[in-house]
Amino acid sequence: MSTKTAAAAKGSKSRKAETGKGGGAGLGKETYLRWFKEMVLMRRFEEKTGQLYTMQKFGGFCHLYIGQEAILAGMITAIRPTDRLITGYRDHAHPLVLGTPSKHVMAELFGKMTGTSKGKGGSMHYFDKQRNLFGGHGIVGGQIGLGA
């Protein structure tokens, strides 16, 4: 069984948890710093998204992921390259942590062709087949059956 994550399989640095000095599960300083950087990226992106939404720069719904960043930072360390992600409708941060450039994630919010779903998914339905991200599903709990 591979220990590389989806992002690692797509050409980024290996995200396998480093062993070494540190707390808990023997994770090293590099892992904690990477998690912190990923959480800051997600938080800043969501803050800017919320700001643009309140300025009515894009329409539709806008469910932010603020306060949940640590979940994805940890998840990306544990998943395999073959794992697929299906989310609820708070999914702006998922493509970011999988390695999608932030300009493509933002372009999706604005309905642009350069967006992850060619501008068709908007805020709640990101799709990126290359990174095994199969979008957010608007029906509450609807993604559970698909994910299983």
Question: Max Cα separation, the chain?
Answer: 47
pLDDT at 69 (0 to 100): 95
The domain tally of the chain equals: 1
Q: How many CB atoms lie within 10 A of CB 19?
A: 11
| Residue 143 is assigned to a structural domain of this protein | yes
Residue 137 located in a structural domain: yes
Q: What is the pLDDT of residue 29?
A: 94
Is residue 62 a part of any domain in this protein?
yes
Instruction: Specify the pLDDT at position 136.
Output: 75
pLDDT in tens, the chain (148 residues): 344 444 544 444 444 444 444 455 678 999 999 999 999 999 999 999 999 999 999 988 898 999 999 999 999 999 988 899 888 778 899 999 999 999 999 999 999 999 998 998 888 888 888 999 887 776 766 666 666 6
- Residue 38 domain boundaries: 6-147
C-alpha dihedral sign at 8, 9, 12, 13:
positive
The answer to whether 118 touches 139, Cβ cutoff 8 Å, is no
- Residue 76 within a domain: yes
Q: Is 1 a member of any domain? A: no
Query: Residue 142 has what pLDDT?
Result: 64
Residue 25 lies in a domain: yes
Which CATH number does the domain housing residue 78 bear? Answer: 3.40.50.970
123 vs 109: CA distance, rounded Å = 5
Residue 121 domain-assigned (yes or no):
yes
How many alpha carbons fall within 13 Å on the CB side of residue 78? 8
Give me the pLDDT at residue 15, please.
Answer: 44
Say if residues 81 and 4 touch (Cβ distance below 8 Å): yes
